[in-house]
Amino acid sequence: MKISSLWLCLLVVGLAPEVRLAAATESSVPATAYALPTVDLSTDTGRQVVIAQGTDKIYQGHPTTVLLPDGKTIYCVWTYGHGGQCGPLKRSDDGGRTWSELLPVPDSWRTTRNCPAIYRLTDPAGVTRLVVYAGEGADGNIHRAQSTDDGKTWSEMTSIGLPGVMPFCTIAPVRGGQALLGMSNIRRPGEKTEKRSNVVVQSLSTDGGLTWSPWEIVVDLPGLKPCEPGLVRSPDGKQLLCLIRENEKRVAFYMTSEDEGRSWTKPAPLPASLHGDRHVAKFLPDGRLVICFRDTGNGSPTRNHFVAWIGTYADIVAGKTGQYRVKLLHSHKGGDCGYPGVEVLPDGTIVATTYIKYRPGPEKNSVVSVRFHPKETDALARAAEAKP
């Protein structure tokens, strides 16, 4: 699949009516919006594992993770500096309890920047690769590196021909595994104002994530800045749900697709309990969802901190608040946290990883994970709800 040099024209011309989206307005948040129980694990240091310690000079930022099929090997990739240089990579062989030293990667990784994202992707022929995408190489395009031996060795970073400061924020198999749907955000094409707007875009790959089709705009909300989408498939497999960060009013939206991403509903506001940045959703063994994100909710008692939401897929599409939330880590630097990796181990343990200034002092942000099990937090949420 060749990447067309006319991608910009394709962005502007010929958008289907169902993706010409009307502007959204900020709605007031009722006092009951955060009435669901909140479990606070942020002071329980026994749950915390520091993957990369920040120092007074080194800022560790923007991690993502991937769990291998053995249920215990996890890779974590991140940056030095806020939206900075890519390159650091570590592996855990015990489900995130301990981590390796920095792993060797090609020097070309350090020529890319901004929020590297690691995925395990399978092509239509059944070949599986680990792929790291990174934003903003020297050519302004997204770059990728791959491993065909489960992370033992890695290729150089090479351009995929799609422009973008951010790499793919989310990738999901679609159309019976014959394609991958990748989504991210870019600046609105052609806009020259100093404060440019974002649009959410998508692309298809039919070769396991090696090459991608030109960007297609799927969300454009004038006056707002939608970005950093996150995909999750419905339990019956028939619907795709996309969670969307909004960077202007600090709310959040969702939309759904019944046709494998060919078209989408107009974005609708998420419940206030899910107002936040960079949602990553995973199913629990009992069928519920855990969604981790940076809390940005207006009036939220955990605003600016790293949180998890527990509820069902049906809660989201019905506009319900969910079951409860968990404060995972306290940010000692305001809203400079989030961008999580979220893995669910075979026994149901959740390993949620983020970058955060997790304690006072001169140290800059660190990459830290928190381990918790839904059975524990379910009990704590019931106890919190029972308090008068």
Could you give the count of Cα atoms lying within 13 Å of 271 in the half-sphere of its Cβ?
Answer: 26
Q: What is the pTM of this model?
A: 0.92
- CB under 8 Å to 171, separation ≥6 — which residues? 119, 121, 180, 181, 182, 183, 209, 231
Q: Is residue 353 part of a domain?
A: yes
Q: Is residue 317 part of a domain?
A: yes
- CB under 8 Å to 259, separation ≥6 — which residues? none
pLDDT of residue 1: 34
pLDDT of residue 18: 33
Q: Is residue 233 part of a domain?
A: yes
Q: Is residue 202 part of a domain?
A: yes
Domain count, the chain: 1
The C-alpha atoms of residue 183 and residue 231 are separated, in whole angstroms, by 8
pLDDT of residue 13: 30
Written as tens digits, the pLDDT of the chain (388 aa) is: 333 333 333 333 333 333 333 333 344 566 567 889 999 999 999 999 999 999 999 999 999 999 999 999 999 999 999 999 999 999 999 999 999 999 999 999 999 999 999 999 999 999 999 999 999 888 999 999 999 999 999 999 999 999 998 999 999 999 999 999 999 999 888 887 667 789 999 999 999 999 999 999 999 998 899 999 999 999 999 999 999 999 888 899 999 999 999 999 999 999 999 999 999 999 999 999 999 999 999 999 999 999 999 999 999 999 999 999 999 999 999 999 999 999 999 999 999 999 999 999 999 999 999 999 999 999 999 998 887 6
* Torsional class of 309: left (φ above 0), alpha (ψ -120 to 50), beta (otherwise): beta
Kindly report the CATH number assigned to the domain that includes residue 333.
2.120.10.10
pLDDT of residue 194: 66
Question: What is the DSSP secondary-structure string of 165-204?
Answer: SS--SEEEEETTTTEEEEEEEEEPTT--SSSPPEEEEEEE
Q: Is residue 286 part of a domain?
A: yes
Q: What residues make up the domain containing 296?
A: 32-386
pLDDT of residue 375: 97
Q: Is residue 14 part of a domain?
A: no
Q: How far is CA 375 from CA 307, 310, 372, 381, in A?
A: 17, 12, 9, 10
pLDDT of residue 225: 93
How is residue 6 annotated by DSSP?
A: T
pLDDT of residue 279: 98
CA angle 337-83-277, nearest 5°?
40
Q: Give the number of other CB atoms < 10 A from CB of residue 225.
A: 19
pLDDT of residue 29: 62
Of 331, 338, 218, 223, the closest CA to residue 275 belongs to 338
pLDDT of residue 387: 78
| Alpha-helical regions (H) of 244-373 | 313-317
Reported as type and span, the H/E element at residue 375 is: helix 374-386
Q: Is residue 56 part of a domain?
A: yes
Q: Is residue 16 part of a domain?
A: no
